[in-house]
């Protein structure tokens, strides 16, 4: 079984700083990581390969430096890495991103075998949209299974897959047919440690690198800023809270301090006080 996992290299959000004057992200010197949500997808793909055999290809679109994330994925055990990079992709929104990735996925299918499953993470930590997975599925006309918490059964003979999907108020058990696109829910598995052997392989591995032309994109108006229907007009830092934290008097025994804290909470929000008493009246 051939499986492709789409990953994204993102800035480590713990390190992000906003420029105080220009209100832009200061990317310089910010370390990058594989989008944490993508690791759940990668681990799930590796488990399926280990169980059923086959290959896992990781794909990313980004600047040439995104190759670092691909090598990292190889150390976890992926078999092949593909980097899609071109200055024409700069400024892509999710519609343009899903277009470029879908073209690369078609090429991967033609060169290395049509993937039964394409995995993505639930969303990225920088864009947070959760739109690229469904976008790719639609463009490739695949059945999409989003927010998957568990792969229940994979039937390679009948080419069906049964999954549990996190829905509102419960879990849907869905059965679909290959080829599918799955977006994996977080905290569904634990990423394995990379092995020394894989790390050595990863360092030597040749990363397949394609640009727009290589994946057969002729219409460049579908790429990058030009191919993006959304336009970012304004970027600004959240209206920083001007009020400082109100510290509750630190004197006295725990009981006195607890009561001082409750007084402060109720003083700030009579609404919460009312809710609590209403609820208590109902419950006891």
Partner 1 sequence: MAEDKKPATPQGGGRANTRKELPEHFKAYKHVWVAVEIEHGQIHSVSFELLGEGRKLADKRGVELAAVVMGDDRARLEEAAKECFEFGADCVYLACDPALVHYRNETATNVLTDLVNTYKPEILLLGATNLGRDLAGSVATTLKTGLTADSTELEIDEEGSLAATRPTFGGSLLCTIFTLNFRPQMATVRPRVMPMPERDPGRTGRIVEFDPQIVEDDIVTKVLDFIADRDSDKANLPYADIVVAGGLGLGSEENFQLVKRLAEVMGAEYGGSRPLVQKGWITADRQIGQTGKTIRPKLYIAAGISGAIQHRVGVEGADMIVAINTDPKAPIFEFAHLGIVADAVTLLPALTQAFSARLRINRLAS
**Least Å from the CB of residue 149 to partner 1:** 10
Nearer to partner 1, 157 or 232 (CB): 232
Q: Under DSSP, is residue 58 helix (H, G, I), strand (E, B) or coil?
A: strand
CA distance 62 to 83: 7
Cβ atoms within 10 Å, residue 132: 25
CA atoms within 13 A on the CB side of 142: 25
Nearer to partner 1, 25 or 205 (CB): 25
CA distance 15 to 191: 22
| Cα 110–chain centre separation | 26
**Least Å from the CB of residue 13 to partner 1:** 4
Nearer to partner 1, 56 or 132 (CB): 132
Nearer to partner 1, 16 or 220 (CB): 16
**Least Å from the CB of residue 181 to partner 1:** 10
**Least Å from the CB of residue 204 to partner 1:** 30
The tokens for 122 are 């639930």
Nearer to partner 1, 74 or 140 (CB): 140
**Least Å from the CB of residue 257 to partner 1:** 6
CA distance 166 to 120: 15
H or E element in which residue 164 lies = strand 160-167
């Amino acid at each position: 079984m051939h499986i492709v996992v789409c990953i994204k290299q993102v800035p480590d959000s713990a390190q992000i700083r906003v420029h105080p004057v220009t209100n832009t992200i200061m990317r310089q010197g910010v370390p990058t990581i594989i989008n944490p949500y993508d690791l759940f997808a990668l681990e799930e793909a590796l488990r399926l390969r280990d169980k059923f055999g086959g290959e896992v290809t990781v794909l990313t679109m980004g600047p040439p430096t995104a190759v670092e994330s691909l090598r990292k994925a190889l150390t976890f055990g992926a078999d092949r890495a593909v980097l899609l990079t071109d200055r024409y992709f700069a400024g892509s929104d999710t519609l343009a991103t899903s277009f470029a990735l879908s073209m690369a996925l078609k090429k991967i299918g033609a060169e290395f075998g049509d993937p039964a499953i394409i995995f993505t993470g639930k969303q990225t930590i920088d864009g947070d949209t959760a739109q690229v997975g469904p976008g790719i599925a639609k463009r490739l006309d695949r059945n999409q299974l989003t927010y998957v918490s568990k792969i229940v059964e994979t039937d390679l003979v009948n080419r069906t897959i049964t999954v549990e999907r996190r829905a509102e108020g419960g879990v849907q058990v869905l059965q679909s047919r290959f080829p599918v696109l799955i977006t994996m829910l977080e905290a569904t598995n634990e990423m394995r440690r990379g092995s020394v052997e894989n790390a050595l392989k990863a360092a030597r591995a040749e990363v397949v690198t394609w640009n727009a032309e290589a994946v057969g994109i002729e219409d460049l108006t579908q790429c990058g800023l030009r191919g993006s229907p959304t336009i970012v007009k304004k970027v600004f830092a959240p209206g920083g809270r001007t009020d400082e934290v109100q510290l509750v008097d630190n004197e006295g025994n725990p009981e006195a301090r607890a009561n001082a804290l409750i007084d402060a909470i109720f003083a700030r929000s009579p609404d919460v006080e009312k809710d609590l008493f209403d609820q208590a009246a109902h419950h006891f």
